[in-house]
Structure 1
Amino acid sequence: MNKGAFLVLMFGILLSCEKNEVNPSDIKQLGYGTSFGMCVGHCKNEMLLKLGTVIYSRSGWNNQVEPISCSENMTQLSWDSLKKTVDLNEFYSLPEILGCPDCADGGAEWLEIENFSGKKYKVTFEYGKEPEELKRMITALRKQLEKGIHCEEF
């Protein structure tokens, strides 16, 4: 092998070892929700957010509870602002389950992020006990979920 080819090969190996930073613009959609296991009625509140749309849904644990859903528009500015509230490298480094979600009916919260390549990652944690790495995003998502709490009731 000549020196030029060897140097090109070594340079390629070094570049491939660099840490890849994950860009918030890679987020295709966000899922967020809460649930309570020992509950009657609409015990699960969820929303799916993506550019242009927020879909809210509420459901129970059985088919006796009629699911409710509604949607609203989401502006580009709101979507971009929300995506900037999370460091994706920190998010992907979190374990999938933190603490004991919904133990002793304390409730659970979760955040799932899907990127444009189809990769999904979900972190579930105890209700009201978001990890520090997600604090800004979860605070924003809780406010957004409040907007849909009465959807389709009137």
Structure 2
Amino acid sequence: MKIQLFIGIILSTLSFVGCEQQSDDVMTKTSKDLNTMVIKHGTSFGMCLGPCKRELTLMGDEASFTIYFNSGRGSQGGDPQTYKEKLTTDYMNELVKSVDIEQFKNLKEVIGCPDCADGGAEWVEITMNDSRHKVTFEHGQDVKEIAPLLKVLREKRVYFENKYVKY
């Protein structure tokens, strides 16, 4: 009985230490990955009045969201407005898990017909070290190769839109 109790205590202690180590590894990977890359996601509509272009930029532990205004027929009007917030650790972990950089790099730069018939365009751009790749596609389109990344980016963009865009 005493041996079983002793073994149970040792196994419990080792499992806590193992969990703590795994958590530290995830944090190190997250910080390292997000400090070496910049991820941008945005939308734009060519024939639009008001806040027609929106861009989310994720770098390190910060998100910035910029709104650009059109005054008609595609001409820029007014100063862009930028809002910044710190990213949560949970969001950063989810973001890092959702990025498959090799799969992303293999995508064509243009998919479908972005902003045709004023349907809008959406894009994702990842810069890592000296490498930059941007993929532009029809607004709201699902791109299966980067579906997890798009889900995470769209949720954050919609969060900022709901908080800061006034129609």
TM-score normalised by the chain length of structure 1: 0.76
Gap runs ≥5 in structure 2: 1-28
CA distance in 1, matches of 2:165, 2:151: 24
Structure 2 counterpart of 1:102, from 87, 102, 115: 115
Structure with the larger helix share: 2
| Structure 1 counterpart of 2:87, one-letter code | M
- Corresponding position: 1:121 with 2:130: no
1:81-112 CA-to-partner distances (Å, cap 9, x unmatched) read 21211221111000000000000001110000
Q: C-alpha displacement at 1:152, in angstroms?
A: 7.6
Kindly provide the CA deviation profile for residues 55-81 of structure 1, in whole angstroms up to 9, marking residues without a partner as x. 001002434233211100013432232
Matches within 5 A, 1:46-85: 46-61=55-70, 62-85=75-98
Matching residue's letter, 1:106: G
The answer on whether the counterparts of 1:50 and 1:79 sit within 8 Å (CA) in structure 2 is: no
Larger Rg: 2
> Match of 1:137?
149
Indicate how the Cα distance of structure 1 residues 46 and 93 shifts in structure 2: closer, same or farther if over 3 A, else same. same
- Note closer, same or farther for the CA distance 1:119–1:60 as it changes in structure 2 (3 Å cut): same
What SS does structure 1 have at the residue aligned with 2:37?
A: strand
Match of 1:87 among 79, 100, 118: 100
Which residue is 2:37 aligned to?
Answer: 28
Task: Report the residue type matching 2:62 in the other structure.
Answer: T
Query: Which whole-Å CA distance do the structure 1 matches of 2:115 and 2:76 have between them?
Result: 21
Gaps of at least 5 residues in structure 1 are: 1-22
**What CA RMSD, in Å, does the superposition of the two structures yield over aligned residues?**
2.1
Corresponding position of 1:151:
164
SS at the partner of 1:112? strand
Distance 2:49 2:78 in 1: 9
Q: Displaced runs of 4+ in structure 1, greater than 4 A?
A: none
Task: From the superposition, tell whether residues 63 and 105 of structure 1 become closer, same or farther in structure 2 (CA, over 3 Å).
Answer: closer
Could you state the TM-score of these two structures normalised by the residue count of structure 2? 0.71
Which residue type is aligned with residue 111 of structure 1? V
